């Protein structure tokens, strides 16, 4: 008899965004006339940049020609894309890596989940709370998170609360943690870490021999010139941090699927006997067993993001979504409701009035304004009493959605 991975059975029945879709679908059954506006899941709405489309069309043509056809590509990614990343995302900012420190992937959700494959199941983990739910769920799936307790926390996870009282900036934990997840600009609160705040984390990791999983999927949305885009802007980070970047929110690739991971050669983890193992080599071994690389067409599309036209088009796209955020904030600020974010990230983090729970406020917005939000508690216990709105919608949808929300407050 085959036995299941019982850890998976500990997960809530649905992933957060699946749960929301289910609730919205039942609302649609009872309200078939409703004109629902979706400001829930952070999915982009603008088409991918023209430079990427043209590059992908050309690449598809190459695959249809016997002289330029390609089969399996390198598991780690094609040199042309890795070189573009090294040059534009790092060397241009004074950060240098070798090509074999970059791993092209199908996006940060898979990467931040899969990285757990090369780390023992009994490492302790720490997360900022609220946090992108896939980090927790993937640790639950392999038994690393322990069991779910009554307060909504997992027994083996250290939660670092990010609340109004600390400006949504987590405090450095008192205890030692093996693996720390940081996501900045933050999903869902929209908060960012200054250089000095990020330095505290790098120093903590160095002093405690910890590993930082740094998700920078939203770095293109940083508007403040003093905020770091990469953890490697901090001295010493190359020894303790793995960075994740995504083209999903940068260039509308949520459906195309492409991102990358940086694993510097200096980052190591130990065996039980204390031998240090470079994670870069271990990840390559894992990838060459379980992954055959991202499609050539996709990687050519991603490479086009770094051309002069691609850069302009991406900039305009980010500007559009940040303008949405600005418009939404302006309208919300007239209502007296408390909200945060939307400055360096495409998310607004809204405090539910009258101490309503996240789901109660979610229902109010759905039933009275016919707007879909994301309940904050879905991102962790400290998210209770909040909802998140995305500014990734089309302009008229963001405007109308916020207008309807303002009316029902």
Among 76, 114, 139, 187, binds ligand MLT (CB under 6 A): 187
User: What is the Cβ-side half-sphere exposure of residue 81, based on CA atoms within 13 angstroms?
Assistant: 30
Question: If you write DSSP's letter for every residue of 156-213 in order, what string do you get?
Answer: TEEEEE--GGGTT-PPPPSS--SEEEEESS-TTT-----HHHHHHHHHHHHHHT-EEE
Whole-number Å distance between alpha carbons of 288 and 355:
50
Query: Nearer to ligand MLT by C-beta: 20 or 267?
Result: 20
Q: Is 245 a residue that touches ligand MLT (CB under 6 A)?
A: no
Residue closer to ligand MLT (CB basis): 138 or 280: 138
Give me the least distance between CB of 45 and ligand MLT, in Å please. 12
| 296 versus 349: smaller Cβ distance to ligand MLT | 349
Residues within window 110-129 making contact with ligand MLT, judged by CB under 6 A? none
- Tell the smallest beta-carbon distance from residue 24 to ligand MLT (Å): 14
Q: What are the binding residues for pyridoxal 5'-phosphate?
A: 72, 108-109, 132, 187, 218, 246-248, 257, 292
- Counting contacts by CB under 6 A, is residue 406 touching ligand MLT? no
Dihedral sign from CA coordinates of 181, 340, 195, 174: negative
Does residue 380 bind ligand MLT (CB under 6 A)?
no
Q: Determine the Cα–Cα distance for residues 218 and 193; give it in Å rounded to an integer.
A: 13
Phi and psi at residue 104, in whole multiples of 5°? -80, 140
| Residue placing its CB nearer to ligand MLT in the complex, 187 or 370 | 187
What is the nearest approach in angstroms of ligand MLT to the Cβ of residue 187?
5
Q: Which stretch binds ligand MLT (CB under 6 A): 38-46, 54-62, 169-177, 262-270?
A: 38-46
Q: How far apart are CA 229 and CA 220, in angstroms?
A: 8
Apex CA 45: angle with CA 44 and CA 50, to 5°? Answer: 95
Instruction: Name the one residue in this structure whose structure tokens are 């190591």.
Output: 268
Q: How far apart are CB 382 and ligand MLT at their closest, in Å? A: 16
Binders in 40-99 for ligand MLT, by CB under 6 A: 41-43
Residues near 160 by Cβ (< 8 Å), separated by ≥ 6? 126, 127, 128, 129, 170, 171, 173
Phi, psi of 173 (to 5 degrees): -65, 150
Residue holding tokens 């639950």?
Answer: 140
Using rule CB under 6 A, residue 298 touches ligand MLT = no
Considering beta carbons, is residue 59 or 104 the nearer one to ligand MLT?
A: 104
The answer to whether the beta carbons of residues 348 and 332 sit under 8 Å apart is: yes
| Closest separation in Å from C-beta 308 to ligand MLT | 28
Tokens of 309: 């036209």
Q: How far is CA 396 from CA 38, 53, 332, 391, 392, in A?
A: 12, 25, 16, 11, 11
Of 109, 144, 220, 257, the one binding ligand MLT by CB under 6 A:
109
**Pick from 384, 111, 59, 79: which is nearest to 257 by CA?**
111
Is residue 373 a contact point for ligand MLT (CB under 6 A)?
Answer: no
Q: Binding to ligand MLT by residue 148, rule CB under 6 A?
A: no
Q: Give the number of C-alpha atoms closer than 13 A to the C-alpha of residue 356, restricted to the C-beta side.
A: 19
Residue closest to ligand MLT (Cβ): 42
C-alpha distances in Å from residue 292, one per residue of 74, 247, 262, 306: 7, 19, 18, 24
Could you tell me which residues are annotated as the binding site? 15, 42, 72, 108-109, 132, 187, 218, 246-248, 257, 292, 388
Q: Considering the complex, what minimum distance in angstroms separates the CB of residue 40 from ligand MLT?
A: 7
Check binding of 364 to ligand MLT (CB under 6 A).
no
> Nearer to ligand MLT by C-beta: 97 or 247?
247
Segment near ligand MLT (CB under 6 A); pick from 37-45, 259-267, 319-327, 352-360: 37-45
Q: How many residues bind ligand MLT (CB under 6 A)?
A: 6
Q: How far is the CB of 263 from ligand MLT (least distance, A)?
A: 21
Residue ranges binding ligand MLT (CB under 6 A) = 41-43, 109, 132, 187
């Amino acid at each position: 008899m085959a036995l299941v991975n019982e850890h998976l059975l500990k997960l809530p029945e649905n992933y957060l965004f699946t749960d929301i879709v289910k609730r919205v679908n039942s609302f649609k059954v009872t309200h078939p006339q409703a004109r629902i506006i979706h400001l829930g899941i952070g999915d982009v709405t603008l088409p991918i940049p023209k430079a990427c489309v043209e590059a992908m069309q050309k690449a598809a043509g190459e695959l249809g020609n016997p002289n330029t056809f390609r089969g399996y590509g390198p598991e780690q990614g094609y040199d042309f894309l890795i070189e573009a990343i090294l040059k534009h995302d790092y060397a241009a900012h004074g950060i240098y890596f070798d090509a074999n420190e970059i791993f092209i992937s199908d996006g940060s959700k898979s990467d931040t989940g899969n990285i757990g494959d090369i780390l023992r199941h009994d490492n302790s983990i720490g997360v900022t709370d609220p946090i992108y739910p896939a980090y927790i769920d993937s640790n639950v799936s392999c038994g690393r998170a322990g069991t779910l307790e009554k307060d909504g926390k997992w027994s083996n996870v250290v939660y670092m609360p990010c609340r109004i009282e600390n400006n949504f900036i987590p405090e450095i934990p008192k205890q030692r943690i093996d693996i720390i997840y940081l996501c900045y600009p933050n999903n869902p609160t929209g908060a960012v870490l200054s250089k000095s705040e990020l330095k505290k984390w790098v120093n903590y990791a160095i002093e405690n021999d910890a590993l930082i999983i740094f998700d920078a999927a939203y770095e293109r949305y940083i508007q403040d010139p003093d905020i770091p885009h990469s953890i490697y802007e901090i001295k010493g980070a190359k020894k303790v941090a793995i960075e994740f970047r995504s083209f999903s929110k940068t260039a509308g690739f949520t459906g195309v699927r492409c991102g990358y991971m940086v694993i510097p050669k200096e980052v190591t983890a130990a065996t039980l006997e204390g031998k240090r193992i470079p994670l870069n080599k271990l990840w390559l071994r894992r990838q060459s067993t379980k992954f055959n690389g991202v499609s050539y067409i996709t990687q050519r599309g991603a490479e086009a993001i770094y051309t002069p036209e691609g850069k302009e088009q991406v900039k305009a796209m980010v500007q559009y979504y940040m303008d949405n955020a600005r418009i939404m904030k302006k309208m919300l600020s007239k209502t007296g409701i408390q909200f945060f974010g939307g400055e360096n990230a495409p998310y607004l983090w809204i405090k539910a009035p009258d101490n309503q729970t996240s789901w109660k406020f979610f229902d109010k917005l759905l039933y009275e304004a016919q707007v879909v939000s994301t309940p904050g508690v879905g991102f962790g216990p400290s998210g209770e009493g909040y909802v998140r709105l995305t500014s990734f919608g089309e302009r008229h949808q963001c405007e109308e959605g916020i207008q309807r929300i303002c009316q029902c407050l």
